């Protein structure tokens, strides 16, 4: 997968490696290697039962997010990486993605590619719905967000990161997701509201904005409780 994404390892000594190592230790997780990609406006966790977790981060996020917002995303990554959740999700996504592999070797403008793309989209739609209902349930996503806020000082920064990334994705709403994006969409830490599976369940932009509002409300409630 890293080969197809044209991922390159993050240079040693980068502050992201230091922060991620610290939070991985806090959650008693193995260190995660970080790779950079271009053109995806998101971050993804890759893992199997036989390898350690990898964090794939779009270079655009390094330019768009502040250091606190990036730290909040890394904390959320560790929250979502506990136990067997990541391995099970990655295995499901890998199985689903096998159907798209033939499209990687076909010319995008060919009639065969277009016909195969339509057929696969129709056949795999039930799997995409199951993906959302099992691995990306809105209630579970909210739970992870609020846990990240309650266990750190980064609630407002996470809300800001979610908002910024949703805007980056909306700015590309006219762009059709390519095959690689469709193969890794279920591995995203900050879910992309452009995808059909999410739209069919939550409606356009509803999920990112709901996450943003819930986090802001949680931060404000916490501050109010501290006031004597």
pLDDT recorded at residue 224: 59
Task: Name the pTM for this structure.
Answer: 0.77
Flag whether pLDDT at 73 surpasses 90.
yes
**CB atoms inside a 10 Å sphere around CB 205:** 17
Flag whether pLDDT at 212 surpasses 60.
yes
Q: Which of 43-47, 72-76, 178-182 has the lowest mean pLDDT?
A: 178-182
CA angle 71, 73, 76 (to 5 degrees): 110
Count of domains observed in the chain = 1
- Give the residue-averaged pLDDT of 48-63: 82
Average pLDDT, the chain: 78
Full domain range(s) for residue 187: 2-226
- Give the residue-averaged pLDDT of 191-210: 50
pLDDT recorded at residue 207: 62
- Give the residue-averaged pLDDT of 153-173: 81
Most confident of 68-82, 92-106, 139-153, 195-209: 68-82
Distance between first and last Cα of the chain: 53
């Amino acid at each position: 997968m890293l080969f197809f994404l044209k991922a390159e390892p993050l240079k040693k000594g980068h502050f992201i490696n230091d922060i991620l190592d610290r939070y991985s230790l806090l959650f008693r997780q193995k260190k995660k290697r970080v790779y950079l990609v271009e053109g995806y406006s998101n971050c993804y966790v890759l893992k199997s039962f036989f390898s350690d977790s990898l964090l794939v981060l779009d270079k655009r996020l390094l330019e768009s997010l502040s250091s606190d917002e990036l730290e909040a995303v890394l904390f959320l990554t560790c929250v979502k990486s506990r136990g067997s959740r990541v391995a099970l999700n990655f295995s499901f996504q890998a199985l689903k993605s096998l159907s798209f592999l033939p499209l990687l070797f076909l010319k995008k403008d060919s009639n065969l590619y277009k016909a195969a793309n339509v057929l696969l989209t129709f056949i795999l739609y039930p799997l995409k719905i199951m993906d959302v209902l099992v691995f990306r349930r809105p209630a579970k996503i909210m739970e992870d967000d609020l846990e990240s806020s309650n266990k750190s000082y980064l609630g407002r920064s996470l809300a800001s990161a979610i908002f910024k990334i949703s805007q980056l994705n909306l700015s590309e709403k006219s762009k059709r997701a390519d095959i690689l994006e469709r193969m890794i969409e279920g591995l995203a830490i900050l879910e992309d509201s452009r995808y059909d599976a999410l739209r069919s369940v939550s409606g356009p932009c509803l999920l990112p904005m709901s996450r943003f509002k819930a986090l802001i409300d949680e931060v404000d409630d916490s501050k109010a409780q501290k006031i004597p």
